[in-house]
């Protein structure tokens, strides 16, 4: 085996496996360790590989990243609990649409593992979470990219939505009042309405901080919402009118840790950076 052949093979393996080890390569190619080291050194010098102790890894994997404002750590425990509840409504094989927002993003994270899903979304973060999940068909709605927000709006998005029917639309809101759910952006509100129109069931996910505040654009009337999922932090008064107007209301209790997995989630809204020790349970976003 010639040097160039080894180099090519090393790069191939590195790309495929995500990394190579000197000892493993030497064994595989029947050469000495020193030879492999010299190979790696050369490849690293040429920028084709990143050298590590004991081996090498491919150069920076290419990522497309969409950055957006960082306000998402707010109410993370509540959002996580709400998201779990919402995800429990999604059954294998369903088609669901997710609109933009931090809470729906949390839902997307919880959807992993549900098989045979088809997900329709206008949110790039949601798409990013579900992309490459083997069990999920992902359809990204077209549209104009909002400048400071990684999601798509506009007539194209709305028209695209008309082409699909989903079992469940899971949507967020910036504010909820007796008059319905509201968003700060009219484009987003229109998407929200379009999603609701093309879904059998409409689920609204929103932490309790959304009650009693107000936002610019109306999305949905409370009577259009089939199921509202929020946390137990809303005022008793709100709960009364909610239960009157919305077909089904679920209050989740984020503070109370759940059995499986053992996640002791940080309770307070102020504790934005707590990563609890337990299982992977740390949804800082």
> Does the protein bind DNA through residue 41 (CB under 7 A)?
yes
> Does the protein bind DNA through residue 35 (CB under 7 A)?
yes
Produce one character per residue of 233-248: b if its CB has 16 or more CB atoms within 10 Å, e if not: bbeeebbeebeebbee
Smallest distance from DNA to CB 46, Å: 13
Residues 75-114 that bind a copy of itself (CB under 8 A): 109
> Does the protein bind a copy of itself through residue 73 (CB under 8 A)?
yes
> Does the protein bind DNA through residue 37 (CB under 7 A)?
yes
Q: What is the DSSP letter of 55?
A: E
| The one among 167, 184, 198, 274 contacting a copy of itself by CB under 8 A | 274
Residues 113-132 that bind a copy of itself (CB under 8 A): 124-125, 127-129, 131-132
Ramachandran bin of 110, using left for φ above 0, alpha for ψ from -120 to 50, beta for the remaining angles: alpha
CB 192 within 8 A of CB 126: no
Token pair for residue 53?
């102790």
> Does the protein bind DNA through residue 21 (CB under 7 A)?
yes
Residues 88-117 that bind DNA (CB under 7 A): none
> Does the protein bind a copy of itself through residue 260 (CB under 8 A)?
no
Produce one character per residue of 103-123: b if its CB has 16 or more CB atoms within 10 Å, e if not: bbbbbbbbbeebeebbbbbbb
Name which of 57 and 249 has its Cβ closer to DNA.
Answer: 57
Name which of 23 and 186 has its Cβ closer to a copy of itself.
Answer: 23
Smallest distance from a copy of itself to CB 238, Å: 24
Cα–Cα distance measured from residue 111 to residue 279, given in angstroms and rounded to the nearest whole number:
17
Q: What is the DSSP letter of 28?
A: H
Q: What x-and-dash track marks residues 259-278 binding DNA by CB under 7 A?
A: -----x-xx------x-xxx
Q: Binds 140, which of DNA, a copy of itself, none (CB < 5 to 8 A, cut-off by type)? A: a copy of itself
Torsion of CA 111, 112, 117, 119, to 10 degrees: 60
Residues 134-193 that bind a copy of itself (CB under 8 A): 134, 137-145, 147-148, 150, 152, 154, 156-157, 160, 163
Task: For residue 123, list its beta bridge partners.
Answer: 151
> Does the protein bind a copy of itself through residue 30 (CB under 8 A)?
no
Torsion of CA 137, 143, 148, 151, to 10 degrees: -20
CA-based max dimension of the chain = 78
> Does the protein bind a copy of itself through residue 276 (CB under 8 A)?
yes
């Amino acid at each position: 085996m010639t040097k160039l052949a080894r180099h090519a093979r090393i790069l191939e393996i590195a790309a495929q496996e995500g990394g190579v080890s000197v000892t493993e390569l030497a064994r595989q190619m029947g050469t000495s360790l020193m030879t492999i080291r010299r190979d790696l050194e050369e490849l690293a010098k040429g920028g084709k590989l990143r050298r590590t102790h004991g081996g090498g890894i491919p150069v920076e994997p290419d990522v497309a990243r969409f950055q957006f404002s960082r306000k998402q750590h707010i109410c993370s425990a509540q959002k996580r609990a709400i998201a779990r509840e919402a995800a429990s409504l999604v059954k294998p094989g369903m088609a669901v649409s997710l609109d933009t927002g931090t809470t729906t993003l949390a839902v997307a994270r919880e959807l992993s593992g549900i098989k045979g899903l088809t997900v329709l979304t206008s949110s790039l973060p949601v798409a990013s979470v579900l992309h490459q999940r083997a069990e999920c068909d992902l359809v990204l709605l077209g549209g104009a990219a909002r400048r400071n927000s990684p999601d798509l709006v506009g007539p194209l998005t709305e028209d695209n939505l008309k082409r699909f029917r989903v079992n469940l639309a899971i949507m967020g809101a910036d504010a909820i009042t007796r008059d319905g759910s509201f968003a700060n952006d009219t484009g987003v509100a229109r998407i929200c309405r379009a999603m609701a129109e093309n879904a059998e069931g409409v689920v609204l996910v929103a932490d309790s901080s959304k009650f009693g505040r107000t936002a610019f654009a109306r999305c949905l009337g409370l009577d259009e919402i089939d199921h509202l999922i929020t946390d137990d932090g809303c005022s008793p008064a709100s709960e009364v009118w909610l239960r009157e107007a919305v077909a089904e209301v679920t209050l989740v209790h984020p503070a109370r840790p759940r059995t499986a997995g053992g996640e002791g989630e940080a309770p307070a809204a102020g504790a934005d950076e707590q990563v609890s020790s337990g299982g992977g349970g740390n949804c800082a976003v």
